[in-house]
Amino acid sequence: GEHKVSNFLRQIIENDLDKGTYASRHWAGTPGDAAHHAAGPLDPAKIRTRFPPEPNGYLHVGHAKSICLNFGLARDYGGVCHMRFDDTNPEKEDTEYVNSILDAVQWLGFNWEANGQSHLFQASDYFDFMYRAAEYLITAGHAYVDEQTAEQMRAARGDFGKPGVDSPFRSRTPEQNLARFREMRDGAHEDGSMVLRAKIDMASPNINLRDPAIYRIRRATHHNTGDKWCIYPMYTFAHPIEDALEQITHSICTLEFEDQRPFYDWLMDRLCEGGLLAHPAPHQYEFARLNLTYVITSKRKLAQLVYDHKVSGWDDPRMPTIVGLRRRGYTPESIQLFAERIGVTKSDSWIDYSTLEGCLREDLENKAHRGMAVLDPVKLVLTNWAEAFGADDYTEDCTQPALPHSAIAEGQTPPPERVFKIGNEVWIEREDFEEVPPKGYKRLFPGNVVRLKGGYVIECTGCAKDASGTVTEVHAKVIPGTKSGTPGADSVKAKAAITWVSVASGVSAEVRLYDRLFSDPNPDAGGKDFIEALNPNSLKVVTAYVEPSLAAAKPDQKFQFERFGYFVADRVDHVAGSKPVFNRVTGLKDSWGK
Ligand code: ATP
Ligand code: MG
Ligand code: MG
């Protein structure tokens, strides 16, 4: 593990643990059912955080930051992070999303178990409590039913520097409001005909405190509660209650909720003083959301890419979804490292996409087995092979380490060496031959001597071309006695070592060369049409030749293709041996041989 850099949240948590802020929670009045809810009593020496996605889409790299943060803090301070589905919006949820979210969190390396107990919750389980909390607010004079139209309410809300105007319904008695609210619950009124509003301050400089709506009428079947309710709590009302019922200590969210914090606190104070919730109540803290260059992190826009077939699905390796990153070849460790490295701050900034790629390289550098692949093949014929070794179809084994010496830790057993054949014909990269070499070119050109990496030193003699002048074959002579790892290996000095795969043992493979999905570093900034910013060259598929150790890969196995970068055997389409399919995750930091 990398050293954990402190940040403002860690300081707050350490301070709360020192002071025992949450050591004794208690109720002002008679404990309501909040005392008995599923989260159980809180160990005062522990913190509770939560990750509360709406199950309305696939998680993306921004959520990964939040997951690593919330679960990571709980882990580091011996606390618990609750996995909570914020499913208070009846229309948008789907079990496909629920399952994909649970999967994503676990894949990233986290879980919601602690002390043998599962901490998996859904906000809709608290609808009964939320309803009672609303009735309490009405009874205590803190909420009223407003029958103005939506437009009237909007107009009366005022604006920055312009106070709002009280609703004509604001002065109703608690009895009148309670009766009306129960009618709302019982289905006596049309959708949208009235709302329950908190009664706070129509002149507050914070517009969120100008009597925000807390319950609305909406006839919709909910995936958990079915048709039991035709009124649903607003997110801003539901969320603080969810946190409090689960005895969350530190409720961490993104900066756009900063203006909601006064309402969060207002609601906590009212419900604590009414004895419905224990105090100290949870506290909300805001951090800057992840903005990553060349990436879109809006579920709605990502959904559009899927439904408009701009990508092959949520798990397209170009998608910034967690399933997409996973299929692309990112590892949980690389994403955790990324989250740690970008840290948490209180002001918005952009993170360069290369930071994420750098974390992947760092994670795979000492893990990913090496292998050779030829991505743009042209055939090289060793014209003196039969003369040197007795027959054209003679082959010989070559061996190379799966990991370089530098990747093997003290006392660690190196993995078995790779074995591949060399014969009279090998595939090389088209760019590794130049009939007329540019200045400084060290690879194959007539008269030059290079090494086939892990094989023999060869001397280039020329090439064959078709009518259009395209090189169809490169010709060279093998220099016997120069094989890598034999005593004569250094007897002839080679100018360069090139990668290759023998025709005898190479396996044809589909290689998907992914590039960034967008050409614009800020594809959805400033009202731009992000579809216009799509990179037309974000996927290039080539037929390559790979050495046998690569063709035998298990799906999801990662490799470093020498000189090219990191590749993964596609989780979905790769079939070991018979139909290898690889995705390029990212190139090597330094381009090879330049
Ligand atoms: P979207 O705007 O893409 O729909 P959301 O914020 O509505 O995302 P939720 O399901 O409500 O998605 O998010 C769950 C948690 O993930 C929230 O706590 C939210 O703050 C956090 N989160 C979402 N996007 C980011 C981001 N880009 N960076 C950091 N945290 C994020
Ligand atoms: Mg949301
Ligand atoms: Mg959002």
In the chain, what are the domains?
A: 8-128+236-287 (3.40.50.620), 138-232 (3.90.800.10), 369-586 (2.40.240.10)
Least confident of 82-91, 328-337, 351-360, 547-556: 82-91
- Over residues 184-199, mean pLDDT: 98
Ligand 2 centroid to 287 CA: how many Å? Answer: 15
Residues in contact with 460: Cβ distance below 8 Å, sequence separation at least 6, in sequence order = 433, 444, 445, 446, 447, 448, 449, 450, 474, 475, 476
Instruction: Lowest mean pLDDT of 77-91, 207-221, 254-268, 464-478, name the range.
Output: 77-91
Cα separation, 492 vs 494, whole angstroms: 6
- Asked whether residue 594 carries a pLDDT value surpassing 80, the answer given is no
Tell me, in angstroms, the distance from the centre of ligand 3 to residue 54's CA: 9
147 annotated to bind ligand: no
Element (H, E) at 83: strand 80-85
Using CA positions, which residue lies closest to atom 2 of ligand 1? 298
pLDDT at 1 over 50: no
**Which DSSP symbol is given to 166?**
-
Model confidence at 4: pLDDT above 80: no
| pLDDT band with cut points at 50, 70 and 90 for residue 524 | confident
CB 91 within 8 A of CB 220: yes
The answer, yes or no, to whether residue 38 has pLDDT greater than 70, is no
Q: Give the closest ligand to the alpha carbon of residue 235.
A: 2
Q: Who's near 450: CB < 8 A, 6+ residues apart?
A: 442, 443, 444, 457, 458, 460, 494, 495, 496, 497, 498
- Mutating to test ligand 1, I would choose from 56, 60, 66 the residue with most ligand atoms within 8 A of its C-beta, which is 66
Check residue 141 and report its DSSP letter: T
Phi-psi region of 207 (alpha: psi -120 to 50; beta: other; left: phi over 0): alpha
> Does residue 52's CB lie within 6 angstroms of at least one atom of ligand 1?
yes
Contact 241, 266 (CB under 8 A): no
Give the ligand with the smallest distance to the CA of 344.
Answer: 1
**Nearest atom of ligand 1 to the alpha carbon of 65:** 29
Give how far Cα 531 sits from Cα of 318, 320, 518, 520, 542, Å: 14, 15, 9, 11, 25
Question: Tell me, what's the pLDDT at 349?
Answer: 87
By percentage, how much of the chain surpasses pLDDT 70? Answer: 95
Distances (CA, A) of 327 to 303, 309, 317, 431: 18, 18, 5, 29
Supply φ then ψ for residue 577, to 5 degrees: 85, -60
Cα 63 to averaged position of ligand 1 atoms, centre (Å): 5
290 is in an annotated binding site: yes
289 is in an annotated binding site: yes
How many of the other CB atoms lie within 10 Å of CB of 139? 14
* Cα gap 345→560, rounded to integer Å: 34
Beta bridge partners of 380: 426, 474
**8 A C-beta contact, residue 556 and residue 569:** yes
Residue 34 near ligand 1, beta carbon < 6 Å? no
pLDDT of residue 510 exceeding 80: yes
What pLDDT does 40 receive?
59
pLDDT(88) > 60: yes
With a cut of 80, say whether residue 25 has pLDDT above it.
no
Complex ipTM above 0.90?
yes
Quick one: pLDDT band at residue 34, thresholds 50, 70, 90?
very low
- Residue 351 DSSP class: B
pLDDT at 23: 82
String of DSSP letters for 220-245: --BTTTBTS-SEEE-HHHHHHHHHHH
The pLDDT confidence band at residue 117, using thresholds 50, 70 and 90, is confident
**Centroid of ligand 1 to alpha carbon of 269 (angstroms):** 26
Pocket test for ligand 1, best of 254, 257, 284 (most atoms within 8 A of CB): 254
Task: Kindly state the percentage of the chain with pLDDT values over 90.
Answer: 87
Q: What is the mean pLDDT of residues 302-316?
A: 96
Q: Is the pLDDT of residue 593 over 50?
A: no
Asked if pLDDT for residue 30 goes beyond 60, the answer is: no
In the prediction, which pLDDT does 27 show? 67
